């Protein structure tokens, strides 16, 4: 079933930030258009995003490829979501998770 609406005009509450998605024959596909400029073409509301949920942990573990010449294996790092890498080139995921847990416990 298509989400394109063809049987009624959009209402103000259908618009997100005064915009709707319309099917444009000129662009051969979906196109954002101002609510007030609707020309009768098929349209769909833009879904509102889920509310942002603050991250519980500031420090987390990620795996990065090694950028060093000749090194083939990935490296584990502890990343801070506001300041970059905190602990680099850790040997295992478990070690990285322990370090991240300590950072989350003692760092503001």
Cβ-contact 35, 29 below 8 angstroms: no
- pLDDT at site 68: 60
- pLDDT at site 1: 39
* Secondary structure in 3-state letters for the chain: CCCCECCCCCCHHHCECCEEEEEECCCCEEEEEEHHHCCCCCEECCCCCCCCCCCCCCEEEEEECCCCCCCCCCEEEEEECCCEEEEEEECCHHHHHHHHHHHHHHCC
Token pair 């991250």: residue: 55
- Tens of pLDDT along 27-80? 777 877 887 888 888 888 888 888 877 767 788 888 876 666 665 566 788 878
- Tens of pLDDT along 84-100? 778 887 888 898 889 88
How many alpha carbons lie under 13 Å from residue 1 in its C-beta half-sphere?
2
β-bridge pairing 19-24 and 29-34: antiparallel
- pLDDT at site 73: 66
């Amino acid at each position: 079933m298509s989400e394109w609406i063809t049987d009624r005009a959009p209402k103000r509450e259908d618009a997100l930030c005064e915009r709707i998605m319309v099917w444009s024959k000129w662009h051969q596909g979906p196109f954002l258009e101002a609510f007030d400029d609707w020309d009768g073409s098929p349209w769909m509301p833009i879904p509102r995003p889920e509310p942002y949920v603050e991250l519980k942990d500031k420090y987390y573990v990620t795996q990065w490829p090694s950028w060093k010449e000749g090194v083939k294996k990935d490296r584990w790092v502890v990343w801070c979501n506001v300041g970059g890498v905190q602990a680099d080139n850790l040997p295992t995921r478990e070690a990285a998770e322990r370090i991240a847990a300590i950072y989350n416990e003692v760092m503001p």
